Amino acid sequence: MNMALDMAMTQVVAEGHVLPTLRVYRWRPWAISLGYHQAENEVDVDRCRLDNVDVVLRPTGGRAILHAEELTYAVSIPPGPAFSGDIQSVYSIISRCLVASLDLLGINVGFERARKTPKDFTRGELSSLCYASSVQYEINIGRRKLVGSAQRRIQGSVLQHGSILIGDAHLALVDYLAAKNGAWRERVKQYMIKNTISLNQVSPQVTYEALARALHDGFQRELGIEFVQTQNDDVELERARQLAPRFSILNNSSYGQ
What lies within 8 Å, CB to CB, of 100 at 6+ separation is 218, 219, 221, 222
> Rounded CA gap, 115 and 19, in Å?
36
Instruction: Select which of 43, 130, 158, 212 is catalytic.
Output: 130
User: What letter represents residue 96's amino acid?
Assistant: R
Q: Are 40 and 34 in contact (CB under 8 A)?
A: yes
Paired with 151 in beta bridges are 160
Q: Side by side, which strands form the sheet with 137-141?
A: 110-113, 137-141, 144-145
Q: From residue 139, give the alpha-carbon distance in Å to each of 92, 105, 148, 164.
A: 10, 15, 8, 10
Active site residue 48: no
Query: Which active-site residues does the annotation give?
Result: 130
